[in-house]
A and B are shown apart, each in its own frame.
Chain A
Amino acid sequence: MDVTALLRSVAAFGVSETSVPGPPEPLDSGDWDELITHVQWHRITHLLAEAVSSGVFPTTDVQFAGAIEADIVALTGALCLEAQLVDVAELLDDVGISFRVLKGPAVAHLDYADPAWRHFGDLDLLIPSDALEEAIRMLIGLGYARRFPQPRDGFDRRFTKSVSLDGPDGQQLDLHRTLAAGGFGHRIVPSMLWNAPSSRFTLGGRDFDALGAEERFLHACYHLVLGNAPPRLVPQRDIAEMLHNDTVAGDRVLIIASAWQGKAILARAITTTADNLRLSTDHPLVAWAREFKPSRREQRELARATSPRYSYVAQAIDSVPAIHGSRDRLAYVSALAFPRRSYLRGRHSGAGARVRHALSGALNVLKESRD
């Protein structure tokens, strides 16, 4: 069984203009179990359920029931997270903290014809940098717990990508300052996310603001390229839906990507999606991505950032040159080189790693300062 090919067939179901067939006959039970495990990890259980219901993916009766059951489990999880989102939104409203809904719920309601087709496993909210600490404090007061402490006071507000919180019932909530980590992430301009017109959707009797269509598209691209190794298929499906619906203005996407120095990310995400899901859309962004040639610097940084061995330390080192201003760079390096003791528990706690990190970061700071 070629599990990768089957997973891509499932992820492309209903959006690929070319017919992507399932297996010629039902898989044996071992292969099926393996497939279901991967489908759940990629969060495409509804796509599998639709594929088996339509008959393009043949199954035994037991496998058919298993596909539907896996989908209902994922659907139930998404509903619980949406209810949590309504709760958290009220809390943030009460203290006057604005936010934008990112990824799962926003994409499900704005970019898919039916939100049932898009599952998600956590909540992600973009919070203004200057309100991040207050939002964290408030949620901790209500029983949420940080997964990791910040290395030094003020680090979240100035440098972090996001802060992960575990809710009282075990649900995960990520509060984002920006959309990605590492050098590519630090070159994203958060104010552009707030100044752009938002998209709006209704859930649980209230309206929610999400990123605008182009910013949402770029976030899906960054998430695909930098988010998981190996990359999940669900952001590829998100990108395919947005291209397929033609809701994304290509020229505006390119302007934003250029401002963020993220064209290499954008091109990689689009070509990966178009190849894996066999898209035959004539959206101009696909043609642009196929023609795009990244610079040598972009190629090197992209190769590092997408390597399975891309460590937290390497990510921090790539971040240094992307941080504006020598003072901020030094503050970033010193926070990671000499963090609070609590921050080191469970992280790169070896003295060697920390010293290497600090030295490399400092060298980069000096190099950038000279440049």
Chain B
Amino acid sequence: MLVRYQRAAGAVWRNAHGCAFVLPQPGSEIVVLAGTGHDLWRLLAEPMSIDQVAHCLAETYDVPADAVTRDVAPILDELASRGVLDEE
């Protein structure tokens, strides 16, 4: 089944100083997303698959989509495990 990722519905967050500051839920730690992480946060305002994310980032940074997929997959998993992203 195709997994899609999106910003966690219950998260509160701010964009500031080139980063996203995300509090996934009360009492959890604030996650700071900079660089590509911040790009991911902006992209995932809407649900996207890994391939869609990779395609967007590949266009932005002018690199092959396959390479981006390999790099971004573990980051998405990590952010989902920390409650920053929802999976569907």
Contacts and interface: CB of A to CB of B under 8 A. Distances in A.
Nearest to B14: A116
B10 A87 contact: no
Majority SS at the chain A contact face: helix
Nearest to A76: B30
Contacts, number: 50
Contacts of B15: 114, 116
B88 to A, nearest CB: 14
Interface residues of B, number: 16
A191 B9 CA distance: 33
Contact of B23 (A71, A83, A114): A83
Majority SS at the chain B contact face: loop
A151 to B, nearest CB: 33
A205 B10 contact: yes
Interface in B24-46: 25-27, 30
A86 interface: yes
A79 B21 CA distance: 9
20 contacts: A49-B16, A68-B17, A71-B16, A72-B16, A75-B14, A79-B12, A79-B23, A79-B30, A80-B26, A83-B26, A86-B10, A86-B12, A114-B15, A116-B14, A116-B15, A116-B16, A204-B11, A204-B12, A205-B9, A205-B10
Interface of B: 8-17, 21, 23, 25-27, 30
Interface of A: 46, 49, 53, 68, 71-72, 75-76, 78-80, 82-84, 86-87, 114-116, 203-205
